Amino acid sequence: MIVAELGINILKYGYLRTKSMALAELFDWLREPMFNYVPDKEKQILDGAFRKYYAISRIGYSINTVCVVLWYIKMLSDENQMPSKLFGNENVYLKSFMYFLLTIGFFYTGIANMSFNLIVIGLIYHAALQVRIIKSLMGNLYEYANEQPDNLKSEVVYRQIAHCARRYWLVKSFVASIESTFSLPLFFQLCVSILVNCFVCLQFLMSDTLSFTIIFPIIALFAVTLEEFMYCFIGNLIFEETSQFNTDLYLTDWIELDVKCRKAFIFLRENSKKPIVIRAGKLLDLSLQTFAMLVRRSYSLQTVVFRYKS
């Protein structure tokens, strides 16, 4: 598992090395003034989102750390899994140095991989939150207008709708930038996750029921499945937010708007007709249906390998 994750990290970071300018432009989006405009009524959306993201980060880092520690303990408990015979048992210093390098490599693999995952998930989550804020702004349209003098209400409503239309267009451009930058690394990650899931399940089946070695396959299987689920869930989240966007807009009292505001409203609805879908490698949609498909493929491959081993 560690070797597979280390290999996929090399592929991911090697590919992103060629995308340094795209990465810089991507993070420049976070300084976009329109994205950072959040009225007081919508700040509770961000507060709740930050708490959820921090909780996910803590869970992800904890699971990866526990997985790496258990793997290292399992490795130390079985000398056959270590290439120590190459150096001889009498060469204590070289053997200790080798253990030290492996320890650093294992922990780096786990932490770096989860850091990459959380960056991508955080960017997609940011886009989903922007859609949620736009829906809240449109829902509170008349509340903002009623705070203004009567002769300015129509103009305030128009400006708010125009702001939401421009903001939604920026969200679509932001998501397109995320997909173009991370599409291939995500595809690598999901494909390798199928293989890792397969061999972890196989190791679980071949372990003794009550032995210590069964703990590592359980934690590792949970870690890899969590990684797949986080990507698919966050992709499904932005799809759900944008697919319901038109319906939520239609439920507002847009009929009562004047002609100028209705035209801006219709433009916003037409621009948001197509839900936002993020694809990994231009082939796999990040959705809960894809997560179910990945689990099925992992189980099918594990069954084939187990029958071959038997």
List pLDDT tens digits, range 234-289. Answer: 889 889 888 888 777 777 766 666 788 788 888 888 888 888 888 888 888 888 88
Highest mean pLDDT among 83-87, 161-165, 189-193: 161-165
**159-177 average pLDDT score:** 87
Residue 292 buriedness (CB in 10 A; 0-12 / 13-18 / 19+): exposed
10: which residues sit within 8 A by CB, 6+ positions away?
A: none
Distance CA 5, CA 224 (A): 10
Query: Quick one: pLDDT band at residue 213, thresholds 50, 70, 90?
Result: low
Predicted confidence (pLDDT) at residue 209 exceeds the cutoff of 70: no
Bridge-partner residues for 284, per DSSP? 280
**178-205 average pLDDT score:** 79
DSSP 244: T
Predicted confidence (pLDDT) at residue 128 exceeds the cutoff of 60: yes
pLDDT recorded at residue 6: 66
- Joined together, the tokens standing for residue 85 give 């015979």
pLDDT recorded at residue 248: 76
Task: Please count the other Cβ atoms lying within 10 Å of the Cβ belonging to residue 149.
Answer: 7
Distance CA 259, CA 184 (A): 45
Q: How far apart are the first and last CA of the chain?
A: 22
Look up the pTM and report it: 0.82
- Cα within 13 Å of Cα(213), Cβ side: 15
Predicted confidence (pLDDT) at residue 15 exceeds the cutoff of 60: yes
pLDDT recorded at residue 88: 52
Predicted confidence (pLDDT) at residue 191 exceeds the cutoff of 60: yes
Closest CA to 275 of 148, 159, 172, 164: 172
Single-letter amino acid, residue 58 = R
172 neighbors 285 (Cβ within 8 angstroms): no
Distance CA 68, CA 89 (A): 25
- Joined together, the tokens standing for residue 138 give 């449109």
Residue 287 buriedness (CB in 10 A; 0-12 / 13-18 / 19+): buried
DSSP 285: E
Bridge-partner residues for 280, per DSSP? 284
Query: At 298, is the secondary structure helix, strand, or coil?
Result: helix
Query: Quick one: pLDDT band at residue 153, thresholds 50, 70, 90?
Result: confident
Closest CA to 197 of 305, 273, 41: 305
Instruction: Kindly give the interhelix angle for 153-206 and 259-271, rounded to the nearest 10 degrees.
Output: 20
Strands 284-285 and 279-280: antiparallel
pLDDT digits (tens, 9 = 90+) for 48-100: 888 888 888 888 888 777 777 777 676 666 655 555 555 555 566 666 677 77
- Joined together, the tokens standing for residue 93 give 């210093």
Query: At 310, is the secondary structure helix, strand, or coil?
Result: coil
Query: At 147, is the secondary structure helix, strand, or coil?
Result: coil
134 neighbors 167 (Cβ within 8 angstroms): yes
172 neighbors 131 (Cβ within 8 angstroms): no
- Joined together, the tokens standing for residue 259 give 């002609």
Instruction: Kindly give the interhelix angle for 2-17 and 20-28, rounded to the nearest 10 degrees.
Output: 80
Average predicted confidence (pLDDT) for the chain = 77
